[in-house]
Amino acid sequence: QSALTQPASVSGSPGQSITISCTGTSSDVGSYNLVSWYQQHPGKAPKLMVYEGSKRPSGVSNRFSGSKSGNTASLTISGLQADDEADYYCCSYAGSLYVFGTGTKVTVL
């Protein structure tokens, strides 16, 4: 299983919207509606932001939204805030195991 492909970095100004892509294959992202997204601040454990493609856990801001088209999942952060600056990872079920994305560093300009 190969890691899902994410852009290494994405940046935006406060208040803007950004989108992080996560490209897999028909064996993972394309076959299951089981993509999750994690936010990780330096030195901290990952925090679940979106699961099952587009669902948000209780307590996660509705500024975070997930979607999928074919073999590519996306995380959109609207109304970008300083605290959104972190690393983001997608994760997909792949039939018998799970696979993470390569990770994206989000910078708030």
By beta-carbon proximity to another protein, the closer residue of 13 and 96 is 96
Convert 50-75 to b/e letters by CB count within 10 Å (16 or more is b).
bbebeebeeebeeebbbebeebbbbb
Binding of residue 64 to another protein (CB under 8 A): no
- Select from 11-19, 25-33, 75-83, 98-106 the region that touches another protein (CB under 8 A): 98-106
Is the Cβ–Cβ distance between 31 and 24 less than 8 Å? no
Binding of residue 7 to another protein (CB under 8 A): no
Binding of residue 9 to another protein (CB under 8 A): no
Single out the residue of 14, 57, 70, 79 in contact with another protein (rule: CB under 8 A).
57
Binding-site size for another protein (CB under 8 A) equals 23
DSSP string over 62-100: TTEEEEEETTEEEEEE-S--GGG-EEEEEEEE-SSSEEE
Q: Which spans of this chain sit near another protein (rule: CB under 8 A)?
A: 1, 3, 36, 38, 40, 45-46, 48, 51-52, 55, 57, 87, 89, 91, 96-103
